[in-house]
Amino acid sequence: MKRIIYVILCLVILSGSIAALPIDLSKNWYVTKGFVTSENPNSKHWKTLESLPLANILTQFEWEKNKLRKVTMAKSFLLSQSDFQKADDDAFSLHIPYISNYYEIYLNQTLLTANGHIKEDKIEKSGYRRHILVRIKRSLLNMGQNQIRILIAAEEGEELNVYKLFNDFPANINLASEHLNIQDEYETYMLLFLYIFVGIYHGLFYWKRKQEIYNLYYALFSIFLAIYMIFRSQGVYSLGLEPFTQTKIEYFVIFLTPVWLLLFTDVFFRSKISKISKVYFVFSFLLAISQLFVNRATSVILLRIWQISVLFFGIMILYLIVSAVRANNKDAKRLLVGVLFLLGAGTWDILGASGMLPIQNLNLLRFGFIVFVLGIAVVLANRFLRVHRQVEELNLSLEKKVEERTNELQNTLTKVQELKVQQDGDYFLTSLLLDPLSQTKVESTKVLLQAYIKQKKEFEFRGKKREIGGDIIISDSITLNGKSYLVFINGDAMGKSIQGAGGALVLGVVFLSFIKRTQMILENQNKSPERWIKECFYELQTIFESFDGSMLVSVVLGLVEEDTGVLYYLNAEHPWTVLYRDGVASFIEEELELRKIGTKGMDGDVRVRIFPLENGDILFIGSDGRDDLVLKESGDGNRLINEDETKFLEVVEKSKGNLGLLVDNLLDVGAFSDDLTLLRIEWLGSFKRVSKDTLSNLSSDDYLYAKVKSLFDLGNGEEAFQNIEYLLSNESLSDDIRINLIREKSRISLLLKKFDVAVESLESIFPFFVTDNEILLQLSFAYRKSKNIKKAIEIGERLRARDPKHSRNLINLVECYRLIGNLDRAKKIFYRLATITPEHPQVVKLREILELDVKT
């Protein structure tokens, strides 16, 4: 009989109160260390927990340092026949508000659910979560006595706890239909929508009015709080995030949420961010970033640090608002109520979550924000009404002011329109004057010329659209010494629109005048191409120099001999000339030699460059508009301009020498920022070029050339000369060998002082070696020795135009001018020579001769 009574008493103790559904699981638990799945609770190893949370009893246990803390909770309960009848059309359901960390839940020694993973006494994967809901099969339950066990584990420093309730939902076993409202978070999602909408709304306000930066901080606060609420809802578990990763994101968001509210309040009431607010922002940001890279235990420590810092945040918020209230700020008075409610709700949630006080985290912050939003809405509405009232007051006197201002603006606009019409008229007249100057009159079967002109300034005058600018292209044909030449110039005058057009107008008039004089006056046609270019340049320089530096022009000025394809040109600070040959584009210049036309005190001599073209070669000459392309333009007007001049080479190669494609491809790179002119010159002729190495390829059996060389090396110049004459009598000689033998003949003739023969030989081979300056020097010297001083000077000046520092040529010219009695010219060239090679023996001798001639 005693045994029966004892069993009944044990059953009563283990089961607690025998009550109908729901079965309360928040009270009367037995707790022990370790994982125990079979042993029934007893007073020796088990401790009694009168009421959850589990943290209330953990201090009664001794825990080994650096060991995984494991706890088993057990509770018995009774189910009656009526309980099973209630579940006939429903199902039993278990609800645990919150378990942390790893857990297993058993019902009558059958595993119901578990989360997390333990390996080698370490938690590999966390398992904590809120609102654990498990449907229970009827077969797992007994009529009468039942037992539930919860096995929990956590690392040292981590939270080890089972909550009593969360969001007003307690731990219990009930009908599944009664637990549905736990996951039906309609209120939460409605609030989420409201907060996100408010955040986006104020974000758009900031987008339109950047000066009201408090809208940005308020938008961030609203959005961050909405994100935090998402992570506090049951819906977040549908994302399938690892629990600790989910917690890290949640902590990152909540750590920064108060910061945005503090910055909003600071800027809203004080129009600036204080140093204290900046420090709190940096502190919170570092805290949020740090917790992304720490373990669970450290993360909990960081959470506690943040929860303490929130007290400082609350003090700062209250201080800012109270200060504004004391300053008689009406907005602050209205906002104070909402902030107090928000801080109260937030403080309750933090204290409940941290366990500092024995209260439950009811997640009141989501409702506290509603009151805060309403407070902000009232504040912003009142601000709007105040502004509207001020606008109405201004409108009382605005009509008269608007009328007066409109009349003033109308008068100003009329004057501006009149000036605009006058300006466009000036533009129109100038463009009409430029049209006949900017011409490309070339009719040649061997030289194909194309031009593209696009001026930056566009205008309309009396319904006619025109362009005006400082870029100009002129081309024509002239005859020099019986040979046809294509003459061209590409200029870019300094200044925009009318100023640049003025420079282009002067350039065009002077250049065309020079061309017309050449075409009409026979004497002007008896000039070498080098001399013609040099004289044309000096005439342009003289005219533009008279403007005292207020008008400068960069140019490429040149001639192309139609039959031979030889290009004579000079470049005065213009973009470098591009050669397109065999699919490859390259510059034919390497350095700047001349400043812009019109530069005062221009130092140095004018140098004319020579470049032989081959069949199919294409030249591209253009103004700096080809390089100054706008790569990117920001909304505030800042532009990124191309500074890579080689980009034009890439575009030329991509366009395969086609001018139309070239312009299109330039526009693909960037927009034009300046006037642009492009001149395309293609040589379609052919002319034999002779290699200097032809004679060196001859063997001892080839026309006895070895014998000629041997005789000459032995000093038998006359016999060598006769042998060359003999070799030249052979009509089967190839052109290359014949031309090179004649050149060798001219060299020997100079040594034998047969100057007439040397002149004849050099004149006959010069067209084949047109770029060889040594032949020009020899020819000038031969003319001088044959007493044809005028021709010697002409050839010498031609060489001087090519190479102003050629010392031997300068010595030859000084001698020539001295012989015809032009001592001024001789001395001028001598002074130039003396600066180049002052110690040269011939220079020293010439100095003595010139001084002697002056005395005579």
**In degrees rounded to 5, what are phi and psi of residue 573?**
55, 35
For the chain, report the end-to-end CA distance as a whole number of angstroms.
Answer: 164
Residues of the chain with pLDDT > 70, as a percent, come to: 84
Band the pLDDT of 205: cuts 50, 70, 90: confident
pLDDT single digits (tens) 408-462: 888 877 777 767 666 666 666 666 666 777 777 777 888 999 899 888 777 777 7
Looking at residue 3, its pLDDT comes to 47
Distance CA 773, CA 798 (A): 10
Looking at residue 558, its pLDDT comes to 93
Looking at residue 700, its pLDDT comes to 41
State pTM to two decimals.
0.53
Q: Calculate mean pLDDT across residues 800-819.
A: 87
> Where exactly are the structural domains of the chain?
13-181, 186-387, 435-626+675-683, 695-855
Tokens 């591009």 correspond to 578
| Res 168 pLDDT > 80 | no
Looking at residue 377, its pLDDT comes to 60
Distance CA 228, CA 368 (A): 14
| Res 541 pLDDT > 80 | yes
- The residue type at 79: L
What residues form DSSP beta bridges with 48? 30
| Res 259 pLDDT > 50 | yes
Looking at residue 378, its pLDDT comes to 66
| Res 152 pLDDT > 90 | yes
| Res 344 pLDDT > 60 | yes
Whether the domain at 13-181 and the domain at 435-626+675-683 fall into the same CATH topology: no
How distant, in Å, are the alpha carbons of 158, 234, 455, 611, 676 from that of 625?
Answer: 69, 64, 10, 25, 5
Distance CA 782, CA 588 (A): 32
Looking at residue 30, its pLDDT comes to 92
SS3 assignment for 679-736: EEEEECCCCCCCCCCCHHHCCCCCCCHHHHHHHHHCCCHHHHHHHHHHHHCCCCCCHH
The tokens describing 491, both together, are 């200029």
- The residue type at 552: L
Looking at residue 712, its pLDDT comes to 61
What residues form DSSP beta bridges with 174? 93
- Helices 705-713, 735-751: axis angle to 10 degrees equals 20
Band the pLDDT of 589: cuts 50, 70, 90: confident
Instruction: Indicate the pairing of strand 584-587 with strand 578-581.
Output: antiparallel
Band the pLDDT of 578: cuts 50, 70, 90: very high
Answer with the residue of higher pLDDT: 168 or 280. 280
Query: Which of 649, 648, 585, 619 has the alpha carbon at shortest distance from 449?
Result: 619
E strands present in 116-257: 117-119, 122-125, 129-136, 144-154, 161-162, 165-166, 169-170, 172-175
Q: Which CATH superfamily is domain 13-181 in?
A: Galactose-binding domain-like (2.60.120.260)
Looking at residue 295, its pLDDT comes to 83
Looking at residue 297, its pLDDT comes to 79
Q: Calculate mean pLDDT across residues 143-149.
A: 90
Cβ-contact 824, 831 below 8 angstroms: no
For the chain, the average pLDDT equals 81
Band the pLDDT of 704: cuts 50, 70, 90: very low
Distance CA 580, CA 586 (A): 7
Looking at residue 691, its pLDDT comes to 57
SS3 at position 199: helix
Cβ-contact 775, 769 below 8 angstroms: yes
What residues form DSSP beta bridges with 682? 448, 618
Query: Which of 645, 667, 644, 643 has the alpha carbon at shortest distance from 655?
Result: 667
CATH of 695-855, one of 1.20.1090.10, 1.25.40.10, 3.40.50.300, 3.20.80.10: 1.25.40.10
**Looking at the domain that runs over 435-626+675-683, which CATH code has it been given?**
3.60.40.10
The tokens describing 508, both together, are 């065009």
Looking at residue 400, its pLDDT comes to 74
Looking at residue 350, its pLDDT comes to 59
How distant, in Å, are the alpha carbons of 475, 520, 531, 812 from that of 526?
Answer: 20, 12, 10, 22
pLDDT single digits (tens) 35-71: 988 888 876 788 999 888 888 888 888 888 888 999 9
Among 171-175, 394-398, 639-643, the minimum mean pLDDT is found in: 394-398
Instruction: Name the burial class of residue 271, with classes exposed (0-12), middle (13-18) and buried (19+) by CB atoms within 10 angstroms of its CB.
Output: exposed
- Helices 330-354, 296-326: axis angle to 10 degrees equals 160
| Res 290 pLDDT > 60 | yes
SS3 assignment for 560-598: EECCCCEEEEEEECCCCCEEEECCEEEECCCCCCECCEC
Among 142-156, 174-188, 691-705, the minimum mean pLDDT is found in: 691-705
Distance CA 170, CA 155 (A): 26
Instruction: Name the burial class of residue 585, with classes exposed (0-12), middle (13-18) and buried (19+) by CB atoms within 10 angstroms of its CB.
Output: buried
